[in-house]
Amino acid sequence: MTKTLVFLILVSISGCSSSNVVTTNNTTTNNTTTNKEASISITSIQKSMEYLASDALQGRATGSVGIEKAAVFIEDFFKENAIKPYFETYRDNFEINKKEGKNGEANKETIKGFNIVGVVEGNDPKLKNEYIILGGHYDHIGFANEVNGDTIANGANDDASGTIAAMELAAYFAKTKSNKRSILVTLYSAEELGLKGSAHLAKRLKESGLNAYTMINFEMIGVPRTADKTMAYMSGFERSNLAVSLNQYAGEEIVGFFPKAKEFNLFMRSDNFPFYNEFHIPAHAISTFDFTNFEYYHHVDDEASEMDYKHMANFMNKMIPALEKMTNTPTKEIILNE
């Protein structure tokens, strides 16, 4: 989540389980593994989180040694789970110009960034040419105000949690081969610098002629909401029928409407927005952070130990039947309401 939300979050605030697997009730198709074998496990989620949000990565700031380590970890995960590179390699490279130097003079120094992009090809000869894009940003801010000698802003919830959701869901489909449409898994850097990574990638994909159907960005899904609320909410809820369709496909209400998402204009403040701009398709962020259930935004205590892994696994596994149905419908049922 970008720095532009800090003030809004402050205004809003003022005015793990030992089980290993959380199962899903979706049905399987021909030539797939069983649900029990394919369900996303707490163990796998926690392993990724404890590395991506570790002090060794020093907050994963774009251009840092730490984000390079994160990228290598993600690439290795992709290789181990048969998620292929979409481009020649997994990396989509770009540069960011520093706007100002000392005393306000022009600064020609650049920051080198890279998105990580993998693909799970669909199993239908025709529908595989249509792409469902899953994303999350794997960068964070690096360092923050010191608390008890700690200055590393680990970024567990923001947004290692969303990154891991995209990784695990892509791995599920790579294993089950239950998707007729192709799935593009896109993990961005430079989100904290103003959505620079996702903007670069969306433009590149658009110029290459990618046939994009929908885009879902997972943003801060590491902690649960209270029991009286929907598990998650979606930014730009009214802009398309995506949330309604996902709930229908899942057979239960997973994604709801959250008034503050509209009040804070969250639709334009996360990595879904560049894809909406470039492709004019249903492109939304899904989150379980609602400004009341986690106090460590851009804080050194946004640590792996603060994440609720049972909740994370439950959310991801509930998303499986919804995404599976979306990948397999014979026509594009999800449309913009505009």
Task: List the structure tokens of 163.
Answer: 């990154």
Is residue 2 very low, low, confident or very high in pLDDT (cuts 50, 70, 90)? low
Q: Give the pLDDT score at 104.
A: 54
Question: Contact, 189 vs 59, CB < 8 A?
Answer: no
Tens of pLDDT, residue by residue over 124-153, are 999 999 999 999 999 999 999 999 999 999
Task: List the structure tokens of 29.
Answer: 């198709």
Q: Give the pLDDT score at 106.
A: 60
Distances (CA, A) of 192 to 42, 151, 158: 27, 17, 10
Nearest Cα residue to 95 out of 210, 189, 203: 189
Question: Contact, 146 vs 57, CB < 8 A?
Answer: no
Task: List the structure tokens of 184.
Answer: 């593009």
Distances (CA, A) of 209 to 185, 202, 206, 216, 283: 17, 11, 5, 19, 17
Is residue 26 very low, low, confident or very high in pLDDT (cuts 50, 70, 90)? very low
Q: Stretch 161-177: mean pLDDT, rounded?
A: 98
Tally helices (H) and strands (E) across the chain: 10, 11
Mean of per-residue pLDDT scores for the chain: 90
Q: Give the pLDDT score at 321.
A: 98
CATH superfamily of 50-97+109-328: Zn peptidases (3.40.630.10)
Q: Is the predicted pLDDT of residue 169 greater than 60, yes or no?
A: yes
Tens of pLDDT, residue by residue over 89-101, are 999 999 998 775 4
* Domains in the chain: boundaries: 50-97+109-328
Q: Is the predicted pLDDT of residue 34 greater than 60, yes or no?
A: no
Q: Give the pLDDT score at 33.
A: 46
For residue 225, the 8-state DSSP code is: P
Tens of pLDDT, residue by residue over 257-289, are 999 999 999 999 999 999 999 999 999 999 999
Q: Is the predicted pLDDT of residue 80 greater than 90, yes or no?
A: yes
Nearest Cα residue to 258 out of 236, 280, 228: 236
Question: Contact, 198 vs 191, CB < 8 A?
Answer: yes
Q: Give the pLDDT score at 27.
A: 39
Positive or negative: CA dihedral 161, 167, 171, 174: positive
Torsion angle, alpha carbons of 144, 271, 237, 159, to 10: -40
Task: List the structure tokens of 157.
Answer: 């919830």
Helical (H) or strand (E) element with 215: strand 212-218
